[in-house]
Amino acid sequence: MSKTEQVLFLCSGNYYRSRYAEELFNYRAKIEGLAWRAFSRGAAERTSPANVGPMSRFALEALESRAIVPEGMTRDPMMCCLHDFERAQVVIGLMEAEHRPLIERRFPEFASRVKYWHVADIEFIPPPVALAMIDDHVHELTLGLQLQAAR
């Protein structure tokens, strides 16, 4: 069997957007038979004290509504380190304006590898809208990986 490739999803605190993207991606990759797995981390230096519990209730509710049982539901948020960038073949920051400065400051040697989506945090976009945007992006990503594998 071939080696499993890795996607790293980054948001600020690894609590809401990146966790949702990770779980949704892993669910889709498994169903579609892709040799890819996702993991997620926070680009900030520390988690926010406003984040209560391991994962945002908005992410959990959205996954539940799609009949997805999150594999990492009980894992606490994790901040990224150099090793995370080294092990990932694809790195996606969920919001360029928010995450590019963090990544360029903390991990300048990997900043050019990060691709960005434009999914703002909860203060700027309501969760149903933001999570639907992530759904679309994950769908596009898995389609692209399927096409890449077919070549």
pLDDT band at 47 (very low <50, low <70, confident <90, very high): confident
Q: Do 18 and 40 contact (CB within 8 A), yes or no?
A: yes
Question: 134-151 pLDDT, tens per residue?
Answer: 999 999 999 998 888 777
pLDDT band at 1 (very low <50, low <70, confident <90, very high): very low
Cβ neighbours of residue 34 closer than 8 Å, sequence gap 6 or more = 28, 142, 145, 146, 149
CATH of domain 5-150: 3.40.50.2300
In the predicted structure, residue 81 carries a pLDDT above the cut 80: yes
Domain boundaries, the chain: 5-150
Please give the residue that has the higher pLDDT: either 1 or 126.
126
